[in-house]
Amino acid sequence: MTTTVTTHSTSVHVSMIGNLSAHASDISCDGAIMSPQASKSLPASPVSVTSMSGLLNSRNLVQDEKLVVATLATLDSGNPSNLIKQDLKWIIQSRRKAEGKAELQVEFKKPVKDEQLTSEELIKRARRRELNRLAARRSREKGQKRKDLLVEEIRKLQSQNSELINILGGLTEQRNSIIETLRQHMKQCSDY
């Protein structure tokens, strides 16, 4: 079966293989192909499928191959992330090409495995890990000390605040008694 898979930027001619061929019952309401098991449980992928045959668009064969692989992975898993990533890569490359810039070549280097490290490198790595552990412990201890100091300062300030509130209460009471004494004295003076 020949199917054209259309994303928002281009369409790719795909030959469906094995059990990935589409039947009417496998196509969701938005036109996405899903495997029979996935069509009952997984959400539809954002891939629009039509029954037209067509030639490859302006993409080169490598780009189209990558998109086909991403499309099949998307159809298999029901997760559109592979297709979206590939589509975004193509959009970025197209914009760069339109602006006259060179294509981006991204290479991911895998970290060197322990078996390939020399004994000197292994010792250096172990030393770095130990120093990192010590630095992390010092940082935690420093943070704990700072926290303890702040808690102690809060306790002192709360105690000081309580004392000041008590003093304020005493002074307010003393002021009120002085005012009352003054009123009585004024009353006695006005009687004469």
Query: pLDDT of 7-29, one tens digit each?
Result: 444 444 444 343 333 333 343 33
User: Based on the domain organization, do 141 and 92 belong to the same domain?
Assistant: no
Q: What is the 3-state secondary structure (H, E, C) of 123-192?
A: HHHHHHHHHHHHHHHHHHHHHHHHHHHHHHHHHHHHHHHHHHHHHHHHHHHHHHHHHHHHHHHHHHHHHC
For residue 185 the two structure tokens come to 């004295």
Q: What is the mean pLDDT of the chain?
A: 73
In a domain, 103, yes or no: no
Is pTM beyond 0.85? Reply is: no
User: Based on the domain organization, do 93 and 153 belong to the same domain?
Assistant: no
Query: What's the domain range around 130?
Result: 119-191
Tokens 């935690």 label which residue? 140
Tokens 């192909």 label which residue? 33
- Mean pLDDT for the stretch of residues 72-92: 79
Q: Quick check: 60 pLDDT over 90?
A: no
The residue type of 45 is S
In a domain, 134, yes or no: yes
